[in-house]
Amino acid sequence: MIENKIIKLKVENLKNSKEVLSSLADCLIEEKIVKQSFKEAILEREDSYPTGLQFDGYGIALPHTDSKHVIKSQIAIMTLEKPVKFVEMATSDKEIDVKTIFMLALKDSNQHIKILQKVMELLQDREDMTKIESFDDSKENVEKLIEILEKHELN
């Protein structure tokens, strides 16, 4: 479910959550993993249902949208050189600093909960998350990230 080309590490020059989501959605569209409608849908959903999550020491975002916008299931991952503000899940105005984004593009709505559970297990693994946030975009680090994902059954 993870393809190397949808892993972007230590991305620079993205100034806000909209730029982050647009950039990652564009990668998925370019690889024909999602439909053109995915980008607008993910942005609209983030406005209505924020996906920022604060963990001990780091903030992440879990953007996703309806399966009707997805061609094949994929998790796209991006880490940022500098954090951007995302609105925290279950709030309408509390902002958190986010450096890691797991964008879920899931074709089968039945797999949604299973995948979310596995992602949440990874997000609660402080050691692995610290590693992920430290990785630069070298091929070696992309491979290390894939190993972490496989360990958490997200391959």
DSSP letters spanning the chain:
---GGGEEEEE----SHHHHHHHHHHHHHHTTSB-THHHHHHHHHHHHS--EEEETTEEEE--B--GGGBSS-EEEEEEEEEEEEEEBTT-SS-EEEEEEEEEEE-S-TTHHHHHHHHHHHHHT-HHHHHHHHH--S-HHHHHHHHHHHHHTT--
Q: What is the pLDDT of residues 83-99, one digit of tens each?
A: 999 999 998 889 999 99
| Residue 15 amino acid letter | K
122: confidence class by pLDDT, cuts 50, 70, 90? very high
Task: Summarize pLDDT for 127-155 with one digit per residue, the tens.
Answer: 999 999 999 999 999 999 999 999 999 87
* Burial class of residue 118, CB neighbours in 10 A (0-12, 13-18, 19+): middle
Phi, psi of 3 (to 5 degrees): -115, 140
Res 112: pLDDT: 80
Mean pLDDT computed over 55-78: 93
Structure confidence at residue 109 (pLDDT) = 75
Kindly report the pTM of this predicted structure. Answer: 0.93
In sign, the C-alpha dihedral spanning 68, 70, 73, 79 is negative
